[in-house]
């Protein structure tokens, strides 16, 4: 044997191998400088990013608030010019659209136009009134720059005030003109005088409200009255018949002139109508139609008169404070309503003056004691059995210091200027607010509101016109307008209403945000009622009962669903879901009941199966047995829906007795609510699909992160899997589940496209599940592109955004407090 094969002592199995001692290497515990720099950089990036997010949110809040604040400011007035008028005691004072050339009218033949800046001398214009005639009554219409006049000969005419711009040597000058139109005979004064002096020879008076026998139905002007004889003229002089009050309203093809005549010591009410023949070229020239004597229908002597621009009514106030509303019905005037605006007044019930607000739907009545009340045309539900359009008290302003001595209505909105003595008050009808009020240094004889609502002017007793700059860009705004219940023109009573634009200049904006807030709450609740049960039960089952292999598929799928664009869901809701479920609501109700009963039925059947067979089913796959049953029940419910409708939802026509199996008709006549194809149910259903993935994902993460040891301990103590999930897992994960619900709530509140496309976007306030709605977010998306920048409409949309901001901030803050409370409560488990 060679020596090489002889084992050495070191190879003996009994001798252990020597241990190799490792030297400590402190360097391996040192962090790489690159890693430290990256960590430092990312720390600052996160800090700066977090601060940037906070600054951005605060910046957005400040910007929105800055846009909203002007809505709650009042009007401001600044002195601008003073114009000394040389015409003594003018009957009418007016102003052009730009406030450059005010005018004065002496109440007869002369107009004077004054340069507001005092650079040019007054322009004097004389109208071509026939020789020997004098004006006895005048009414000025500032929105049309026209006056209607009545003469001592019984004629009625119209004066148009016109402004022309002339350019000379590169300088612009505004020139005023006054043009008198054709005079039409309102009454035959000599005949009136003769009849007054000798009633026995007069023709019998027609019935009150019916046309006078003179020129009945005539389509041409009445022939000129014959020249009076000396005796007749003497009688006319003794009776001194003249027109003291005149007013006129004109439509496209008709006109109405009302007048109060003073016949001796008596006063009478007359009316004359004009019509124009229509052809393919439009309306022709106005021609006299009929004359009316309405004096017999009054209880006292008429004192004041108004004719609306619709030329179909007369509103007359008499000496006793009674107002009579005459409405033209065919060829006669019916006395539709009589009322006393100040019937409850403890002092005088007399009317100091009455004036139309822009649009001629509302009248401001001013009392002798300074009261100021607004009556508007509407169809009130109470004390109106015939359901006719009559006047009702809609607004009441604080009283003035005395009876109103002047009045001016805005030509742009529902504002009016009134006052007594030195007091001037600018008020807004819709919101029932005083925009500006002050005691000036002079007694006010007349007041003017500029055509652009940018100027105010006051004529004092010294014939000085004081012109002021008016800054009131948002008179229709205010807390009461946004959150109060207002009585708008034409409505039966006060209500919350949103309608930002209309088809005419006289439109009264309705800016209540309550219907939009209600729509946001309603849509959110509908979505959560549909989404929360499905999302939470799915999260519980997925985290506690579903097979882990399937969970790896279900969870990512649900997360992908959260990325579906809202516009796609809205498109599907509007064009596919809504038309298909519109007439299948009974089927949906049956499916809802059957889906609810399906788990109970499956559980009962599952417990009846012997345990030895149930063990064949792999845990977490029980759903595969229930799914076919669920599909079968859905098919059964969908097909049985029409039969269910014939049994439970039958409408009987009260006129014919015919029976209709129609859920829509049944719903309308049973509940009184509407039934629209695009409704809250469709929105809730489709918006629920947008919310379910969010709630499911966060809730499932919270449930899955409960320590496994707690579940194992519960099961080891004999609890079932359901008892463990309900008594152990859910309480511990409650904070996370609550967070999921709050995030889902925020998603539903801010949803826009689904609501825009799946509802009628009608701002309604009801609990009806089958009517449309409009939310704050949808309103912003729909109207902001068309809102003029910095207009009231524009700022109201920003106010809606601010409300959404505050709503989510308050909800999330409360949710955070509650979440922390739940986390502290179960912290020790």
The pLDDT of residue 397 is above 90: yes
More confident residue, 27 or 96: 96
| Rounded Cα–Cα distance for residues 694 and 527 (Å) | 13
Give the pTM: 0.84
| Rounded Cα–Cα distance for residues 76 and 274 (Å) | 44
Q: What is the pLDDT of residue 212?
A: 57
Tokens of 785: 């592109």
Q: What is the pLDDT of residue 759?
A: 86
Tokens of 491: 């409505």
Q: What is the pLDDT of residue 234?
A: 40
Q: What is the pLDDT of residue 535?
A: 93
Q: What is the pLDDT of residue 677?
A: 87
Residue 205, φ and ψ in degrees, nearest 5: -70, 140
- The continuous run of DSSP H or E covering 550 comes out as helix 548-561
Q: What is the pLDDT of residue 216?
A: 38
pLDDT band at 502 (very low <50, low <70, confident <90, very high): confident
- Degrees to nearest 5, angle at CA 205 with 201 and 209: 165
Per-residue model confidence as pLDDT tens digits over 448-458:
999 999 999 99
Q: What is the pLDDT of residue 277?
A: 78
Q: What is the pLDDT of residue 210?
A: 58
Strand extents, DSSP E, 513-654: 650-652
Mean pLDDT is lowest, of 202-216, 568-582, 670-684, for 202-216
Q: What is the pLDDT of residue 20?
A: 65
- The continuous run of DSSP H or E covering 80 comes out as strand 76-84
The pLDDT of residue 146 is above 90: yes
| Rounded Cα–Cα distance for residues 560 and 230 (Å) | 103
Per-residue model confidence as pLDDT tens digits over 170-193:
788 888 999 998 888 876 655 555
Q: What is the pLDDT of residue 236?
A: 43
pLDDT band at 98 (very low <50, low <70, confident <90, very high): confident
Mean pLDDT is lowest, of 203-217, 668-682, 783-797, for 203-217
Can you spell out the DSSP letters for 506-523? T---EE-SHHHHHHHHHH
Mean pLDDT is lowest, of 232-246, 436-450, 703-717, for 232-246
Q: What is the pLDDT of residue 1?
A: 41
Q: What is the pLDDT of residue 191?
A: 54
CA-wise closest residue to 265 among 301, 299, 298: 301
Per-residue model confidence as pLDDT tens digits over 157-173:
999 999 988 887 778 88
CA-wise closest residue to 261 among 356, 108, 153, 398: 153
Mean pLDDT is lowest, of 201-215, 731-745, 749-763, for 201-215
Percentage of the residues of the chain whose pLDDT score is greater than 70: 89
Per-residue model confidence as pLDDT tens digits over 228-270:
444 444 444 445 788 999 999 988 888 999 999 998 889 999 9
Q: What is the pLDDT of residue 229?
A: 45
Average pLDDT over residues 483-491: 91
Tokens of 139: 């009414």
Average pLDDT over residues 276-287: 72
pLDDT band at 226 (very low <50, low <70, confident <90, very high): very low
pLDDT band at 829 (very low <50, low <70, confident <90, very high): low
Per-residue model confidence as pLDDT tens digits over 539-561:
999 999 888 888 889 988 888 88
| Rounded Cα–Cα distance for residues 297 and 306 (Å) | 16
Q: Long-range CB contacts (< 8 A, 24+ apart) of 320-326?
A: 320/349, 320/350, 321/348, 321/349, 321/350, 321/351, 323/351, 323/354, 323/365, 323/391, 324/297, 324/298, 325/390, 325/391, 326/209, 326/271, 326/294, 326/297
pLDDT band at 221 (very low <50, low <70, confident <90, very high): very low
Average pLDDT over residues 304-326: 94
Mean pLDDT is lowest, of 466-475, 503-512, 638-647, for 503-512
| Rounded Cα–Cα distance for residues 738 and 818 (Å) | 8
Percentage of the residues of the chain whose pLDDT score is greater than 90: 50
Average pLDDT over residues 145-150: 93
């Amino acid at each position: 044997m060679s020596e090489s094969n002889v084992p050495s002592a070191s190879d003996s199995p009994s001798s252990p191998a020597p241990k190799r001692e490792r030297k400590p290497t402190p360097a391996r515990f040192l962090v790489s400088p690159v890693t430290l720099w990256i960590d430092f950089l990312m720390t600052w990036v996160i800090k700066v990013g977090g601060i940037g997010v906070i600054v951005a949110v605060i910046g957005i809040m400040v910007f929105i608030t800055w846009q909203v604040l002007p809505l709650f400011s009042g009007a401001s007035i600044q002195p601008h010019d003073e114009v000394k008028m040389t015409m003594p005691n003018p009957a009418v004072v007016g102003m052009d659209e730009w406030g450059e050339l005010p005018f004065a009218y002496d109440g007869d033949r002369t107009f004077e136009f004054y340069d507001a800046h005092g650079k040019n001398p007054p322009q004097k214009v004389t109208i071509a009134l026939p020789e020997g005639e004098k004006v006895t009554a005048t009414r000025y219409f500032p929105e049309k720059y026209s006056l209607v006049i009545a003469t001592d000969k019984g004629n009625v005419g119209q004066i148009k005030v016109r402004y022309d711009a002339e350019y000379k040597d590169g300088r612009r000058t505004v020139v005023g003109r006054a043009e008198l139109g054709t005079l039409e005979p309102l009454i035959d004064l000599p005949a009136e005088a003769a009849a007054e002096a000798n009633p026995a020879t007069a023709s019998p008076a027609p019935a009150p409200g019916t046309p006078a026998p003179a020129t009945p139905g005539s389509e041409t002007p009445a022939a000129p009255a014959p020249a009076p004889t000396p005796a007749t003229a003497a009688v006319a002089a003794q009776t001194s018949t003249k027109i003291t009050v005149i007013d006129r309203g004109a439509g496209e093809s008709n006109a109405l002139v009302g007048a109060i005549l003073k016949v001796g010591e008596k006063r009478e009410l007359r009316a004359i109508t004009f019509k124009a023949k229509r052809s393919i070229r439009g309306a022709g020239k106005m021609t006299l139609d009929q004359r009316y004597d309405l004096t017999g229908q009054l209880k006292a002597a008429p004192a004041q008169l108004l004719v609306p621009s619709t030329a179909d009514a007369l509103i007359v106030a008499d000496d006793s404070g009674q107002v009579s509303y005459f409405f033209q019905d065919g060829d006669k005037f019916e006395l539709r309503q009589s009322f006393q605006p100040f019937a409850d007044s403890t002092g005088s019930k007399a009317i100091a003056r009455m004036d139309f607000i822009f649009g001629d739907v509302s009248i401001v009545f001013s009392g002798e004691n300074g009261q100021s009340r607004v009556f508007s045309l509407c169809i009130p539900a109470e004390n109106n059995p015939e359901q006719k359009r009559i006047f009702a008290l809609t607004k009441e302003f604080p009283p003035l210091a005395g009876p109103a001595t002047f009045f001016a209505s805005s030509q742009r909105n529902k504002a009016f200027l009134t006052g007594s003595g030195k007091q001037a008050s600018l008020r807004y009808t819709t919101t029932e607010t005083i925009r500006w009020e002050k005691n000036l240094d002079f007694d006010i004889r007349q007041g003017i509101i500029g055509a652009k609502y940018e100027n105010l002017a006051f004529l004092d007793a010294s014939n000085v016109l004081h012109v002021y700059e008016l800054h009131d860009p948002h008179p229709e705004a205010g807390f009461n307008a946004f959150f109060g219940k207002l009585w708008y023109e034409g409505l039966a009573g006060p209500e919350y209403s949103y309608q930002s634009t209309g088809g005419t200049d006289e439109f009264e904006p309705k800016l209540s945000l309550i219907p939009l807030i209600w729509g946001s709450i309603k849509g959110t609740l509908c979505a959560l009622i549909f989404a929360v049960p499905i999302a939470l039960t799915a999260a519980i089952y997925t985290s506690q009962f579903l097979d882990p292999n399937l969970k790896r598929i279900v969870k990512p799928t649900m997360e992908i669903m959260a990325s579906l664009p809202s516009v796609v869901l809205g498109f599907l809701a509007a064009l596919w879901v809504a038309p298909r479920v519109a007439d299948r609501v009974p089927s949906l109700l049956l499916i809802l009941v059957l889906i609810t009963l399906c788990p109970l039925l499956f559980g009962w059947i599952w417990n009846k199966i012997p345990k030895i067979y149930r063990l064949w089913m792999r845990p977490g796959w029980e759903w595969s047995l229930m799914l076919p049953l669920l599909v079968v029940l859905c098919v059964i419910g969908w097909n049985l829906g029409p039969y269910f409708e014939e049994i439970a939802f039958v409408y009987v026509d009260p006129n014919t007795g015919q029976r209709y199996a129609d859920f829509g008709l049944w719903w309308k006549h049973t509940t009184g609510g509407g039934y629209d194809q695009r409704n809250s149910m469709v929105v809730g259903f489709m918006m629920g699909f947008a919310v379910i993935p969010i709630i499911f994902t966060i809730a499932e993460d919270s449930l899955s992160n409960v320590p496994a040891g707690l579940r194992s301990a519960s099961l080891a103590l004999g609890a079932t899997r359901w008892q463990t999930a309900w008594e152990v897992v859910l309480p511990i994960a409650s904070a996370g589940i609550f967070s999921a619900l709050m995030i889902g709530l925020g998603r539903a509140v801010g949803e826009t496209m689904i609501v825009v496309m799946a509802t009628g976007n009608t701002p309604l306030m009801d609990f009806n599940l089958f009517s449309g709605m409009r939310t704050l977010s949808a309103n912003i998306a729909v109207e902001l592109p068309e809102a003029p920048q910095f207009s009231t409409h524009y700022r109201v949309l920003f106010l809606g955004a601010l409300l959404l901001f505050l709503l989510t901030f308050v909800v999330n803050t409360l949710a955070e407090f509650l979440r922390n409370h739940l986390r502290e409560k179960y912290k020790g488990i």
